[in-house]
Homo-oligomer: A and B are copies of this chain.
Amino acid sequence: MAKTSLNVALIGQGFMGRAHSNAWGQVGKFFDLPLMPVLHTACGRDAGKLSAFQKRWHWQNIATDFKQVIRNPEIDLIDVVVPNNMHKAIVLEALKAGKPVACEKPLSNSFDDARAMVQAARKAKQRTFVWYNYRRCPAVTLAHQLVREGRIGQVRHVRASYLQDWAMDASIPLAWRFDAKTAGTGSQGDLNAHVVDTVRFVTGEEVSEICGGIVETFVKQRKLMTGTASGGLSQGLKSSGKAGKVTVDDAVMFLARMSGGAVASFEATRMAAGNQNRNGFEINGTKGAVRFNFERMNELEYFDATEERKVQGWRTIIVTHGGDHPYAAAWWPDAHVIGYEHGFTNMAYDIVLALAGKKPTAPLPDFADAFVTQRVLQAMLICAKERRWVKVAQVK
C-alpha cells in the first residue's frame, strides 16, 4: 500500500519554527495533497519551552537530540529552522541518514559551510529544499510566470530592495541578530539573500558581475541584552547598562550586471525609516515591466508596453483569482486576501508535491540553487571590501 502521509521533524523552535509549524498544520486543510504532512516530532534544546511549543502547534512528539530524531525511521523529512550557524551540522547528519531536508535560508552565513552542504547533498543524492518563501508569495510567482511567458521581453533593468526600519531604534539591545558569531551577518543574510533569490527567480537570469558595493553599520554600539528574546524582531528585549560592539551590517547595497545583459541594483537594510517590510522589485524589459512590494503582497503591478498607447498604464493585479493565479484556488474568493504566513503554506504544498514526484507550482530552490545566491552574496562582500569589480563565476 502506498504511503499517504509525510512525517515531518522540525529541528528548531524560534520565530521560523512558528511559521513552519503553522504551514505544516494548514497545508492539508486548504490544499488537496498526494501526501498528508504529519507534525511528527519537534526537536529543540530547551525542553521547557519545547513542551509549550508542542502543545500550541500540535506536534505529536518532542525530542532534544536532533541526531536521534534524524535516525528515527518514521521520519520522512527533516525541516531545519535553527540559527543559520547551526545549519550545517544538522543538514549533514540528515543527508548522511538519507533523509530529504528542507532548510531555512540562507544555507549558511559561512560560504564554506554552504559549499560543504551543497557537496553533501550532491553526494547523498537526496531532495533538498531551501525556504526562500517569497517565491511562493502569489504575486511573485505570477511575476515569474509573466517574465517566463515573455510578456516583458528581454530584461534591461532590475531594481530590487528589502527595506525594514526596526533596527533604527538605537535603544534596542545587542540581541543575537546584531552579533556576527550567531547571526553571521545582519541585513545581508536576513534580507539581501531574499532579494537575490527573488531576482534570480523572477528574471530567470543570474547575477554575473558585481560592479560596486557598500556594507554599512550605522549604529556601531548597543547596550548588552539581559534575558532572552521572545518572538518578533525586536520587541520585549531588555538591556543592561554596558555597551557592546555591533558586529553585523545594518545595510548592504550593490550594483550588478545580469547574465542576459540587464543592469541591476540591490539593497537591503534595517534602517530605512518608514519601511517596515518593503521587500520589493521593479523589473523593466523590452516589452513591459513588473513591480512588487511585499507590504501590498496581494498585488502585482504589470505594465504592458505592447498594447494600445491610449490605454497603456501600470495595472494593479490582485493575485487572488482561483484558476488564473498561483495558489489562489486553495484559499478564498477574489480579493479575500492572504497574508505573510501563506507563503510558507504554499511552499509546504510545493514541497509535498515534489516529494510525491509531482511538479511544484514553480521551481523550488534546492541546495545547489541556493548556493548560487550565496555565491552572489560572497562576491558582493569581496567587491565591497576590496573595492573592485567581481565576476560571480570566479567565486568558488
Contacts and interface: CB of A to CB of B under 8 A. Distances in A.
Contacts of A233: 333-334
A166 interface: yes
A211 B214 contact: yes
A289 to B, nearest CB: 4
A123 interface: no
B322 A311 contact: no
Nearest to A275: B284
Interface in A22-49: 22, 25, 28-29
A361 B294 CA distance: 28
A313 interface: yes
Contacts of A157: 251, 269, 271-272
Nearest to A323: B235
Contacts of A297: 337
A112 interface: no
B313 A317 contact: yes
Contacts of A57: 29
Contacts of A338: 339-341
A263 B214 contact: yes
A383 interface: yes
A60 to B, nearest CB: 13
Interface stretch (A85-93, A302-310, A366-374): A302-310
Interface string A211-225: 111101010000000
A265 interface: yes
Given A212-B383, A251-B263, 7 more contacts: A211-B214, A253-B263, A273-B284, A275-B284, A277-B336, A309-B323, A311-B315
10 contacts: A165-B284, A212-B213, A254-B255, A273-B284, A276-B335, A277-B333, A277-B337, A295-B318, A298-B339, A314-B315
Interface of A: 21-22, 25, 28-29, 56-58, 142, 146, 151-152, 156-157, 159, 161, 164-166, 168, 210-214, 216, 218, 232-233, 235, 251, 253-255, 257, 261, 263, 265, 267, 269, 271-278, 282, 284-289, 291, 294-298, 302-305, 309-318, 320-325, 331-342, 383-384, 387-389
